[in-house]
Amino acid sequence: MTDEQRYDPHSIEARWQKVWEQEQTWEVSNDVDPASAAYVLEMLPYPSGEPHMGHLKNYALGDAVAHFMRRSGSTVLHPMGYDAFGLPAENHAIKTGVHPRESTAESVASFQRQFRRWGISIDWSREFGTHEPSYYRWTQWLFLKMLEHGLAYRQQAAVNWCPTDATVLANEQVTDGRCERCGTEVVVRQLEQWFLRITDYADRLLEDLNRVEWPENVKTMQRNWIGRSEGAEVIFHCEATGSDYPVFTTRPDTLYGATFFVMAPEHPDVLRLAAGSDHEDEVKAYVNRAIAESNDLRGGSDRPKTGVALGHTVTNPVNGEQIPIYVADYVLMEYGTGAIMAVPAHDERDFEFAKAHSLPVRQVIGGGEDLPWSGDGPLVNCTPELDGTNNREAFTAIVATLEAEGRGKLSVNYRLRDWLVSRQRYWGCPIPIIHCKDCGAVPVPEEQLPVVLPDVDDYKPKGHSPLAGAQDWVNTTCPSCGQEARRETDTMDTFVDSSWYFLRYCDPLNDSAPWSREAAELWMPVDQYIGGVEHAILHLLYARFCTKAFHDIGLIGFDEPFARLFTQGMITRDGAKMSKSKGNVISPTSYVDNYGADTARCYVLFIGPPDQDADWSDEGVEGVHRFLSRLWRLANDLDSADTELVAPEPADGGDVQLLRKAHWAIDKVSRDMAGRFAFNTAISAVMELVNDCYRLRDQCSDQAMRFAASTAGSLVFPFAPHLGSEVVERLTGKRVWELPWPEADPQMLESDSFELVCQVNGKIRERLMVPSSASEADLIEAARQAPNMLAHIEGRETVKEVVVPGRLVNIVVR
């Protein structure tokens, strides 16, 4: 083979990228038929450092969908941007010692280069970074709209603090008591912070999950995070202090088994109740220790159940019993009312606490062998009227009695807390508020937006916002009364920036509003959203909340942002997650350098079902590269570019087989793409077609070969767009992206014949087209007569003949 005859991905890819760039092929205007408008979106990247394999997979996936939808008749919006503010970019800057403004610009440039090199079909006219003032002006504007509508507020609260990142974190950013970003154990601090009122939307966020086509596991994660539970509020009265203490319980049916009462260390009455008792000092010490610990840690099931008695009792409203009050750190202020009735016979943690503190355990639900027993059963040890009643019925009866006596009512509780959005960090969107000693927190007037992030030299985290040091910026005048005032120095959680970017793409150049309603309603909601499952309860929940809030404020007419969601799996190496610390990171760049972008793109989609984790293999890359080379060579051999891309009339023999195979591949790839994102099996169908082209090339007409090879190019285009374009152009003279997606001829799919796989000792020696009506004996006979089979069975003894009807014959010889 001469050099000109070798598959050279680099020149092919550069050539097509230039065409797309010059002709702005992937740009769409807002002046399109709304019925054809479709929106395909991958989660935008954090530009910190270089793109990694996960990025390649995410964007190759989205690009395949975008191409498929375009050629299926949609006008597709497929934009790109950068989630450029926030900890990833800032930590990268700190590590490299480069100002985040510069390091972010470098990273953005690197992502731009890679996206172009990968040939991702992006509408570049809509690109932006969330760190650009023309974008965050509107992040600030939306924050003020939320403030105006009572959806943003400032409050003193116990908040999660990451000592390493030196900032507060939202509950969603704490996993098992540790910072989601750096893994440091989170501590609790009392701070005055800005919150967004996501809890107002808890029920809608739950119910509307039924309206979106999302993976069930993501819906379950959101449901669990929101954590709606139905139960009752029950009021316990303390005679000594005259106070009522309501608790929330999901098990009012166990109320007769309550033998003690527990308050969270943060409960405002704990210190008051302990005052003057023998335990006062002990209680104080206990409370101080507990409130510095994170909720996740305190709630851990393996933790010893510690606590101190407060020296008082409350009255159980159903039986008048006096039960002792404890303070214990396994009770959290954030859940319910910050106090619980403890029923050790029917609750694991209460049971452990009772054992550790020698408190009585009274079983009130029968049926369980061992305590604690949390199952259903008849009531026991309650009252003669209730005993024997099924506990579920008793639930209703007990709550009704409490309600009649004014001692309780049905109630719903949520795990979800309001979204804490203040960050004590530099690289973020400034919160557009001015603090005046007389007027309080005053919104920056709309015409003064954006509040531009000042360019400070010392941007490192220091426990308070580095912006506090920018005196010229901080000191200002109150927009309301004109006296000296100070700017808010905290910046916003970067998840605020990414909670509305998908709306901005609809109308990115608008400078009088974040978007126009028409533009948003033309494209939104996103038809297909693609990203990592790690965003299930962060970005995906926040974006849904903000969309609902914007709807209620009157900025948009829909209230769910992402109609369909696909979450891709990770690419692992030797079974482990790739990470810099493990030193097992594979950069896409070296593979694109060696094999071209098409091979790298195809491989990350071929590696396995795209929603599953898959392990990287260099041999797998080689295999995909070989397949693309073979397709190229086929096209190169057939190249004379004067045949129409139409199916030739089926002739006989090889033509029929190959044309059937081509239509089978069209059908298979179409179904894999439309229905279930089975890109791996779609790619293998094209591989099969290419193999058949080689296998049948001596038995087929030139026309049938051209049809099959150009069909392979057309079908591989969404995964390997450069080679797909090249093959189709060479064989048909057409631009593949301007062609409609091919349709399988149903007649060619219906088979009165099928391909019989013929094996000798389990090895495939021949494939034959045989009539569907053939008997098993006919199939064996046909297989035995095939030339390639004869060569392996002649002169040998047949041990067994295995027939799988409609598929294969295996002749076992020795």
Which residues contact Zn ion by CB under 5 A? 162, 164-165, 179, 181-182, 184, 436, 438-439, 478, 480-481
Nearer to Zn ion, 356 or 481 (CB): 481
CB 380 within 8 A of CB 257: no
CB of 434 to Zn ion, least distance (A): 8
CB of 480 to Zn ion, least distance (A): 4
CB 784 within 8 A of CB 790: yes
Q: Return the sign of the alpha-carbon dihedral for residues 307, 311, 314, 316.
A: positive
CB of 545 to Zn ion, least distance (A): 23
Q: Write down the residue that tokens 């399988």 correspond to.
A: 744
CB of 481 to Zn ion, least distance (A): 3
Looking at residue 359, what DSSP letter applies? Answer: -
Q: How many CB atoms lie within 10 A of CB 1?
A: 8
Q: Looking at this protein, which amino acid is placed at residue 60?
A: A
Nearer to Zn ion, 199 or 480 (CB): 480
With the CA atoms of 541, 547, 551 and 557 taken in that order, what torsion angle do they form, in degrees rounded to the nearest 10?
-120
Nearer to Zn ion, 381 or 480 (CB): 480
Nearer to Zn ion, 268 or 482 (CB): 482
CB of 478 to Zn ion, least distance (A): 3
What is the token pair recorded at 531? 């990203």
Nearer to Zn ion, 319 or 475 (CB): 475
Distance CA 460, CA 463 (A): 10
Nearer to Zn ion, 180 or 233 (CB): 180
Nearer to Zn ion, 424 or 499 (CB): 424
CB 514 within 8 A of CB 504: yes
Q: How many CB atoms lie within 10 A of CB 615?
A: 14
CB 270 within 8 A of CB 280: no
Looking at residue 789, what DSSP letter applies? Answer: H
SS3 17: helix
Estimate to the nearest angstrom the gap between the alpha carbon of 137 and the chain centroid: 27
Nearer to Zn ion, 101 or 181 (CB): 181
Nearer to Zn ion, 184 or 589 (CB): 184
Distance CA 200, CA 558 (A): 18
CB of 184 to Zn ion, least distance (A): 5
CB of 445 to Zn ion, least distance (A): 13
Nearer to Zn ion, 162 or 308 (CB): 162
* Residue 168: strand pairing partners: 161
CB of 436 to Zn ion, least distance (A): 3
Task: Give, for 755, the enclosing helix (H) or strand (E).
Answer: strand 753-760
CB of 467 to Zn ion, least distance (A): 19
CB of 464 to Zn ion, least distance (A): 16
Distance CA 678, CA 609 (A): 6
Nearer to Zn ion, 147 or 524 (CB): 147
Nearer to Zn ion, 222 or 295 (CB): 295
CB of 455 to Zn ion, least distance (A): 25
CB of 186 to Zn ion, least distance (A): 8
Residue 142's alpha-carbon distances to 457, 481, 575, in angstroms, are: 29, 24, 43
Q: How many CB atoms lie within 10 A of CB 446?
A: 12
E-only strand ranges, 350-490:
408-413, 419-420, 422-423, 433-436, 440-443, 475-477, 484-487
CB 442 within 8 A of CB 433: yes
Residue 777 makes CB contacts below 8 A (sequence gap 6+) with none
With the CA atoms of 639, 641, 645 and 646 taken in that order, what torsion angle do they form, in degrees rounded to the nearest 10?
-90
Nearer to Zn ion, 166 or 769 (CB): 166
Q: Looking at this protein, which amino acid is placed at residue 379?
A: L
Q: Write down the residue that tokens 């700017």 correspond to.
A: 487
CB of 451 to Zn ion, least distance (A): 17
Distance CA 295, CA 340 (A): 16
